[in-house]
Amino acid sequence: MNRRMFTRLGLASLLAPAATALRAQSFEVTRTDAEWRAMLSDLEYRVMRHEATERAGSSPLDKNYAAGVYHCRGCDLALYSSAHKFDSGTGWPSFWQSLPNAIGTKEDNTLFTTRTECHCRRCGSHLGHIFNDGPAPTGKRHCINGVSLVFRAA
């Protein structure tokens, strides 16, 4: 169920606490809402600033396996190495770990379940979620919205 469906069903308030909690945190890189809107496309803004999710299979980064590093679109912090990327079959870029000190996490209780949301530790941009069904050695799957990332080839 996406944000639009929640709004139509009158359940949009269930999504608000998570976004509000993240915005209340203080981050090294901050921008006004107008500055975020000016630098991001509508989809990037909805995903990165309001924790929406891009459509599965829509990101070209899902099938990108070139050597390099994935950076935060919001502040250019290096987040994920291509060495940690794998094909999860979900339709989103997936990694079994992030780079050291790159992401922050918080509990996400939207959508009637508890998940681990991950965001850029420097600017707070929403990246995606972390699940416990990934490959060794961590067993984690960082399921990341491609619109939150910029790939830089090695």
Q: Supply the residues annotated as catalytic.
A: 143
Report the b/e string of 102-115 with b at 16+ CB within 10 A: bbbeeebebeeeeb
Sequence-distant (≥ 6) Cβ neighbours of residue 142 within 8 angstroms: 80, 94, 95, 96, 97, 98, 103, 118, 127, 128, 129, 130, 134
